[in-house]
Amino acid sequence: STSTESSSSSSGSSKEGKGIALAYDVGGRGDQSFNDAAYAGFEKARKDFGIGGEDVEPSDGESDADKVQRLTDLARQGYNPVIGVGFAYAPAVKEAAEKFPKTTFGLIDDETVKGENIANLVFSEEQGSYLAGVAAAKATKSKVVGFVGGVEVPLIKKFEAGFVQGVKDTDPSVKVRTQYLTQPPDMGGFSKPDLGKEAARGQLDSDADVLYHAAGLAGQGVIEAVAAKDKWVIGVDSDQYKQKTLDKYKDSILTSMTKDVSGAVYNLVKSVHEGEPKTGVVRFDLKTDGVGLSDSNPAFAEMTEIQDAVKKAREGIVNGDIKVKTTP
């Protein structure tokens, strides 16, 4: 038996790139969240640049070694860039990047691992969430708003932190109710809309009238519950007002905190395609429009008071007057 490595180590990524490779984290494609967003960027890049691509799902209970193998396989086959979707890929990207110095590795949501050929695509979710908090504090009538997080992990706590700060800075008298659906490593909180629905109902019952969710698929349950009560819900990741599966509820979707994973993937591919691969930390924040607040709901766009407040907050963050915390 031969080592797959030795047969190809000489080639590295020197052969003409086969295109982009995406390696997903738990949830994979179809999570209606950032895996899907990454896929959207991937598709767009493939189309625009006329290149090939491969996207691969993880398996349950895999270890770092499996992730390393996945990235290695992809790099060896000649894909460039190879993007690990999610912070869980950090150790794997580090290892694979050393083996394939000529391949660019994208790593989403992590900046702890650095390398010459590693692009850390990170987002300031707390900034976008701050704006969501501002909007919520302005929109609430009952002076109670809610946050529903899928799984209680630091990433989601960033959303919570920004949201809470946004609310409190806008109107300290508004109460924020926080609810997480599951605890890690039970990632079910991102994929169980029924839990989202019941949690949202609980918050609505305790008078919350604007809910912000960061719960992936489970968020669909949140949106459904809120729509049933005719209150406001703030979507997450992509502009959920435009999401087809949520068409029925779109009138209740006040706005969405967008996180441009798609753009991040697209831009990385673009940079590689143009022969000037990005490396190091590439931060997507309010300044770069990597995160933001959508206003595709016309009702929201017309709420001038809120729009003003949001705009002001955005400026404050961009020029550094407002520092948004990343932990609650």
Partner 1 sequence: MKKFDKDRLILALGGPALAIVVAVALTSVVLIASGRSPVEPYALMAEYAAHSDIQVLIVNQAATYYLAALAVAIGFRMNLFNIGVDGQYRLAAMVAALVGASVTLPGPLHILLILVVAMLVGAFWAGIAGILKTTRGVSEVVSTIMLNSIATSVVAYLILPAQFGEQRGNNLTTGEIPESGWFPGIELGAAGEIYGFVVVAALCGVLYWLVLNRTRFGFDLRATGAGESAAIASGVDAKRMVLTSMLISGAVAGLAGMPILLGDAHTYSLDFPAGLGFTGITIALLGRNHPVGIALGALLIAFLDKASATLDYNGYEKEIAMIMQGMIVMAVVISYEAVRRYGLRRQQQKVGEELAAAAAATDGTGPENRKEVSA
Partner 2 sequence: MSTTLTKPAAQQSKPTARRRLTLAEWMLVVAGILLLVSAVRLITGAHGITSVGQTSTALRLAVPIGLAALGGLWAERAGVINIGLEGMLILGTWFGAWAGVQWGPWTGVVVGILGGALGGLLHAIATVTFGVNHIVSGVAINILAVGATRYLSSFTFAEMEGGTSKQSPPIESITQITVPGLSDAMRDLNAQHWFLVSDVAGLVGGLVTNLSLLTIVAVAMVPLSRWVLWNTAFGLRLRSCGENPLAAETLGVNVYKYKYIAVMISGGFAGLGGVFLAEVATNIYLEGQTGGRGYIGLAAMIFGNWMPGGLALGAGLFGYTDSLNLRGGGQNVHALLLLLAILLVLATAWAIYRRKFLTAAVAAVSGLVLFVWYLSVDEVPSQFVTAAPYVATLLVLAMSAQRLRAPKAVGKSYRKGEGT
| Lookup: tokens for 59 | 């398996």
Burial (CB count within 10 angstroms: exposed 0-12, middle 13-18, buried 19+), residue 99: middle
Omega prior to 154 cis, within 30 of 0: no
Distance of alpha carbon 90 from alpha carbon 84, whole angstroms: 8
18, 54, 64, 188: which one contacts partner 2 (CB under 8 A)?
Answer: 188
Does the footprint of partner 1 cover residue 72 (CB under 8 A)?
A: yes
Residue 62 in contact with partner 2, rule: CB under 8 A: no
Cβ-proximal residues to 245 (8 Å cutoff; 6+ apart), any chain: 32, 220
Report the C-alpha gap between 190 and 206 in whole angstroms.
23
Q: Binders of partner 2: how many residues, by CB under 8 A?
A: 33
63 is in the binding site of which of partner 1, partner 2, none (Cβ under 5 to 8 A by kind)? partner 1
Instruction: In angstroms, give the least distance from the CB of 72 to partner 1.
Output: 8
- Cα separation, 310 vs 300, in Å, equals 11
Smallest separation, CB 165 to partner 2 (Å): 20
Instruction: Give yes or no for residue 98 binding partner 1 (CB under 8 A).
Output: no
Residue 147 tokens read as 């946050």
Query: Closer CB to partner 2, residue 182 or residue 262?
Result: 182
The two tokens of residue 325 are 């915390």
Partner touching 302 among partner 2, partner 1, none, CB below 5 to 8 Å by kind: none
Rounded Cα distance, 151 and 61, in Å: 17
Tell me phi and psi for residue 257, to 5 degrees: -85, 110
Site pattern 276..295 for partner 1 (x: CB under 8 A): --------------------
Q: Quick one: what does residue 217 bind among partner 2, partner 1, none, with the CB cut-off 5 to 8 Å set by partner type?
A: partner 2
> Which of partner 1, partner 2, none interacts with 164 (beta carbon under 5 to 8 A by kind)?
none
Q: Does 1 bind partner 1 (CB under 8 A)?
A: yes
Burial (CB < 10 A; 0-12, 13-18, 19+), residue 244, is exposed
Mark residues 11-30: x for contact with partner 2 by CB under 8 A, - for none. -----------------xxx
Interface residues with partner 2 (CB under 8 A) are 28-32, 152, 177, 179-183, 186, 188, 191-195, 197-199, 201-203, 205-206, 217, 220-221, 224, 244-245
Interface residues with partner 1 (CB under 8 A) are 1-6, 9, 54, 56-57, 59-66, 69-70, 72-73, 77, 87-88, 90-91, 109-112, 152-155, 158, 183-186, 327
